Structure 1
Amino acid sequence: MFFVRTAGEQDLEKVRALLGETWHATYDRLYGADKVNELHASWHSPASLKARLARKNSEFLVADDGKAIGGMGYAAMSTEMTKTVMLYMLYVSPRHQRQGIGRDIFAELETCFPDAEIMRLEVDPQNEPAIAFYKAHGFVEVSRTENCGNAQSGIPALVFEKRLVGDSIQL
């Protein structure tokens, strides 16, 4: 059984391995192994993961069964949009998918930002399992971008949002 907890520096090597495995299983067919290796080396470098772990107004979670890290999630308050939390990463290792790990990590991340009203994410338009997961958890597509992750990535993405708090009625 996996338990969701806050990640620590001691987890980063296992998290990086999980990300490499998950990215290759998901994106090799879309971008090719060489491009996935390039993106993984850049976006999931030890320094990049360590910086995320240290970032203020963020939450870095892992699903841990005492032997392995089965999934991870990372979200942070947006620096550009008020009351918006960005879900940057939610990945479950291929051998542990469909066991509720992604759901459990996501549920925890939703509670970590009490001042946020919206959760926002980017997802590859061809990643149908991820799109189905996010829609099942209340996300709706609000726009598209041609540069997922950074301004020059050249990787298209759908932008999804979920309202985290109910609309209040003004009297």
Structure 2
Amino acid sequence: MLIRPVEPSDAEPLLAMLQESGQFDDEGLLHVRDTLKNYFSGESDELWFSAEQQGLAGIAYCAPEVMTSDVWNLLMLWISPSSQRQGVGQALINQVEKELRNKHARLLLVETSSLIDFSAARAFYSKQGFINEARIRNYYAINEDKVIFTKDMQK
């Protein structure tokens, strides 16, 4: 498996992977496209990594939190269905954490949904050493909470 920074040639396969998932509407895909464009311009502090394993296996997107001191947010960790449970997510998290330690990050956040469909994601983050820090009730929709995990990057 190869973990590397996302390159412009990755944009279309990445967007296709997200579209095929059915979890991103047109507005969400446009936002990802615009965020990638900003990243490729070189004017962004954001991190984008891809995992290759017989094609694109997953991506990680992490950005600094505005108005904080050395806090970053893992805004997207996406693994293709055919590559799940093969260590791709862990490899991407490890690369993000390595880069953030080089940047002297203090805290890493990750947010996910409280829905049953996201129980594997919540278990994954706990297994990776994240702490279930907070819950914002009815955040995404009625009866769908935002669950916030944190990881101390200075340990």
Question: What range is the shorter-chain TM-score in?
Answer: 0.7 to 0.9
Structure 1 residues not aligned, in runs of 5+: 28-35, 167-171
What's the offset of the Cα at 1:63?
Answer: 0.6
The residue that corresponds to 1:71 in the other structure is 58
Percent identical? 23
Distance between the aligned counterparts of 2:39 and 2:113, measured in 1? 21
TM alignment of 1:27-38, pairs within 5 A: 27=23, 36-38=24-26
The residue that corresponds to 1:4 in the other structure is 3
CA contact (8 A) 1:71 1:93 kept: yes
Distance between the aligned counterparts of 1:56 and 1:96, measured in 2? 29
Q: Secondary structure at the match of 1:138?
A: coil
Residue 87 of structure 1, aligned match among 74, 78, 91: 74
Q: Secondary structure at the match of 1:105?
A: helix
The residue that corresponds to 2:113 in the other structure is 124
Q: Secondary structure at the match of 1:13?
A: helix
The residue that corresponds to 2:98 in the other structure is 111
- TM (norm. structure 2) is 0.83
What count of residue pairs does the alignment treat as equivalent?
148
The residue that corresponds to 2:135 in the other structure is 144
Distance between the aligned counterparts of 1:43 and 1:134, measured in 2? 24
What's the offset of the Cα at 1:39?
Answer: 5.2
- TM (norm. structure 1) is 0.76
Distance between the aligned counterparts of 2:13 and 2:146, measured in 1? 27
Is 1:156 matched up with 2:145? yes
The residue that corresponds to 2:48 in the other structure is 60
Alignment RMSD (CA, Å): 2.2
CA contact (8 A) 1:123 1:130 kept: yes
What's the offset of the Cα at 1:157?
Answer: 1.3
Instruction: Give 1:122's aligned amino acid.
Output: E
Q: Secondary structure at the match of 2:78?
A: strand
The residue that corresponds to 2:38 in the other structure is 51
CA contact (8 A) 2:51 2:59 kept: yes
Instruction: Give 2:106's aligned amino acid.
Output: E
What's the offset of the Cα at 1:70?
Answer: 0.6
The residue that corresponds to 2:29 in the other structure is 41
Instruction: Give 1:5's aligned amino acid.
Output: R
What's the offset of the Cα at 1:77?
Answer: 1.8
CA contact (8 A) 2:72 2:105 kept: yes
Structure 2 residues not aligned, in runs of 5+: none
Structure with the higher strand share, 1 or 2: 2
CA contact (8 A) 2:113 2:145 kept: yes
Instruction: Give 1:6's aligned amino acid.
Output: P
1:75-103 Cα offsets, whole Å, 9 max, x none, are: 12222221211101111000110110110
